[in-house]
Amino acid sequence: MSDSAPRRDTRGIVDPAELLSRVRFRRHTPAPELRPYLEHYWLIDWELPEPYATHVVPHPSVNIVFQRYGALGVPATAANASAEVAGIGLGLFTQKLAEAGRVCGVQFRPGGFRPFAPAWPVSAWTGRRVPLTEVFPDTDPDLPSTVLSPATDHARVAALDAFLLAHGPAPDPVAERAMDLVDLVRTDRAVRRVSQLAAASGLSARSLQRLFATGVGVGPKWVILRYRIHEALERAEAAEAAGAPDWAALAAELGYSDQAHLVRDFTATVGVPPTAYARGRSDPGRS
């Protein structure tokens, strides 16, 4: 069961301080009936004199994203509003923000999307961004405008609640089991390998793979690795205040056989080695 308050961490956001200095970012709690399945709603508004690219190491979560982009000083219209289902992103996600825009997003708990769209395995959306109507064909064409147009966060959240409550959630034992196991991976550092998760769940490795493909959208090994990288990224972000991490010790703590494996995975995911990333965070002259 999710907590009633949204997360306050910035895990997964590359250089969160830079992003938060340029946009209005906030999280909101969904209706009580939706909280077991959702992490939170996330809302972003911006007006930028110059373009800015934001980078995110995605969570193992499906998102529904309502978005509107426009020119500075030009009244927004319903015509430039759209909505999509964003499956789990396998690599670093980069989004260019320019001029003015607004996004209202729904981040589902890993495993929490399936009760709203049980006709497909969640892996059907992995690595894809598809129009909302492809997943929910009966969507009102005016829904993007209904979500994005209100001036207050409260009204936007109410519109998101109404949409989701009209589409479920349907009881789903597969989703419940998947959510519980991902929570175990996220909260228990002792679970470092698929074999350990299989033992904890009482499932064979093959059954665990099927459960994760159907309920989460990616395999258990991918989830374990992604949470490792999120923690390493968070430690690198903290370098300015706490000093550079002991990367060898952190690698051992996260279950890597050696520091080189952590460096390789971090570099492949974020695009730079962890030491270089940490130096960038602690450099007072960085942009």
pLDDT tens sequence across 147-194: 999 999 999 999 999 999 999 899 999 999 999 999 999 998 889 899
**What confidence score (pLDDT) does residue 241 get?**
58
**What confidence score (pLDDT) does residue 274 get?**
87
**What confidence score (pLDDT) does residue 2 get?**
46
What does the pLDDT look like over 26-51, one tens digit per residue? 999 999 999 999 999 999 999 999 99
Q: What is the CATH number of domain 13-165?
A: 2.60.120
Determine the average pLDDT of the residues in 48-60. Answer: 94
SS3 state at 194: helix
Q: Is the pLDDT of residue 95 over 90?
A: yes
CB atoms within 10 A of CB 183: 15
- In terms of pLDDT, which residue wins out, 74 or 128? 128
- In terms of pLDDT, which residue wins out, 70 or 76? 70
**What confidence score (pLDDT) does residue 255 get?**
83
**What confidence score (pLDDT) does residue 283 get?**
47
Q: Is the pLDDT of residue 15 over 70?
A: yes
% pLDDT > 90, the chain: 72
Cβ partners under 8 Å of residue 181, min gap 6: 111, 197, 200, 201, 208, 211, 212, 220
% pLDDT > 70, the chain: 92
**What confidence score (pLDDT) does residue 78 get?**
62
With tokens 């990224």, the residue in question is 233
Pairing of strands 63-70, 24-28: unpaired
CB atoms within 10 A of CB 1: 9
CA distance 51 to 221: 36
CATH architecture of 173-282: Orthogonal Bundle (1.10)
What does the pLDDT look like over 225-256, one tens digit per residue? 999 999 888 888 876 655 677 889 889 888 88
Q: Is the pLDDT of residue 92 over 50?
A: yes
Task: Kindly report, as residue ranges, where domains of CATH 2.60.120 are found in the chain.
Answer: 13-165
Q: Which long-range contacts (CB under 8 A, 24 or more apart) does 197-202 make?
A: 197/224, 201/177
Residue 6: pLDDT band with limits 50, 70, 90: confident
Task: Kindly report, as residue ranges, where domains of CATH 1.10.10.60 are found in the chain.
Answer: 173-282
CA distance 3 to 89: 24
Determine the average pLDDT of the residues in 110-136. Answer: 97
**pTM: predicted TM-score of the whole model, two decimal places:** 0.91
Mean pLDDT of the chain: 90
